[in-house]
Amino acid sequence: MTHMKKIWILLTLCCTLIACKKNHVDFSYSPTEPRTGQSILFSNLSTSGEEWSWSFGDGSVATIKSPTHIYKRPGTYLVTLKVDNKNYWTTSREVTVYDSIPTFVCVDSAFVIYQDYTFTANVYNPYNYDIEYEWTLSDSIVTIEDGALTCYFTQPNDSAEIGLRIIINGDTTNVIKRFYIENRLTNSILMRTETEDYRQRIFGDKAEGMKADASASPLLDAEQDTAQTYNGYDFRLSELKVVFPTIEGFHIANRKIYYRSEGLWVANIDGTYPVQIDAASCAAMTLDIVDSRIYWANENGVWYMPLVGSDNNKFITTPTLLNNNHQVTKIAADAVLR
């Protein structure tokens, strides 16, 4: 009986040893130098097991195979993994969590003049302390709302600087970042007045102020809106008067004709569905095909709006004032991006 008992004990010990060797309990974590507020992935590297018990050293636990965890405070924590609730299938290691450094970020990585960008403060604040933000920057137009700065730059710059001073719970952090601001080529509108020719560069929904530019003359001197070749056919003002008796000038795009005739109008190229865009007398007009806009001058200034896309030429956008120059007699879209 004693002999059998010894055999049973030996068999039990052997099975236990075999079981211990069968499962290699281990885990890794990423990132390897985590910070407070950062999600840490704990990857279970154990070779077997069906139940897992994690202890993260800050009072938090988990029971899934490969959990994630966020530490609220910096420090060194002892993380323990137990597999299948067996003490001999357990491993522990220390994880050092570093303090989170306040900073600011922008989703964009390339920057050009006259385009909006938003910079957002990135501050880990699990205890909802009051935060003060002080943004500093130059050569830009800005809108500031606490932890967010929206701006656009008006000049190219090899090293435009943005600074942010963050004060949280009495601690102050100063962050300075530098950005390359590119002067990307863009379209422009050329305008002739009684005295000079001007160029106004267009940047999306923004525009640079008009500047006198002698290089605009050749395009403005060219035949403007009295003749145009469209889809291989030559359109002449004299021929279009059969359909539009009072027409004074025109441009064609996307099977639409935009024409001056006691105001500004748009119609299908066959003359159907004429719709008035502006009732004021139109002195000049042009189309910018790249940005899909029409520009025109009347007694109140220079205006623009998107080209019309509907079959019946109805439009839902209202004209926008580009500038208040009342003396523009010719307009052209620059054919060369500048």
88: domain CATH number? 2.60.40.10
**Domain residues for 265?**
188-333
Residue at 302 is within a domain = yes
- 8 Å CB contact between 119 and 149: yes
**CA 281/CA 298 separation, integer angstroms:** 6
312-321 contacts at long range (C-beta below 8 A, 24 or more positions apart)? 312/273, 312/275, 313/256, 313/266, 313/267, 313/268, 313/273, 313/274, 313/275, 314/275, 315/266, 315/275, 315/277, 319/277, 319/278
Question: Do 206 and 316 fall within a single domain?
Answer: yes
Question: Do 153 and 113 fall within a single domain?
Answer: yes
Question: Do 328 and 219 fall within a single domain?
Answer: yes
- Domain end: 147, 165, 182, which one? 182
Residue at 325 is within a domain = yes
Question: Do 169 and 267 fall within a single domain?
Answer: no
Q: What is the DSSP letter of 325?
A: -
* Nearest residue to 296 via CA among 211, 189, 219, 188: 189
pLDDT at residue 286 in the model: 94
Question: Do 151 and 169 fall within a single domain?
Answer: yes
Question: Do 297 and 209 fall within a single domain?
Answer: yes
pLDDT at residue 288 in the model: 92
pLDDT at residue 167 in the model: 95
pLDDT at residue 183 in the model: 85
**Total number of residues shown for the chain:** 338
170-179 per-position pLDDT tens digit = 899 999 999 9
pTM: 0.63
Residues in the chain with pLDDT values less than 70: 1-22, 335-338
**CA 182/CA 112 separation, integer angstroms:** 4
- Domain end: 182, 206, 233, which one? 182
